[in-house]
Amino acid sequence: MLVDKPPAGDAWLHEIKLDGYRTAARIESGQVQMLTRKGLDWTARFGPIAKALADLSVKTAYLDGEIVVVRPDGVSSFADLQEALSLGQATRLGEQWTAK
């Protein structure tokens, strides 16, 4: 059954659907490795994000998440993420990125 809004109350949890690349980040003593779901090392492709993770005050951590580009309207855009990567603009993923 379709509804116009999610259920209210404290018994419900909601998760926003993000459309990006699922990535696992391994942090060990300030060194970061970012791996795709298929095990490809994309640390260099996601350089600014890896650098930000390296600055975390943790000795060891394993983070599992989604790398996304979020448009000004708050919706993630897989097409914009792919465009940033294909144009070699992944270095801008740590800042506000707008598709041209």
CATH number, position 77? 3.30.470.30
Domain limits at 66?
21-92
Q: Is the pTM of this model over 0.75?
A: no
Query: What confidence category does residue 99 fall into, taking pLDDT thresholds of 50, 70 and 90?
Result: very low
As for how many domains the chain has, the answer is 1
Point out which residues pair with 80 in neighbouring strands: none
Write out pLDDT tens, residues 26-36.
999 989 999 99
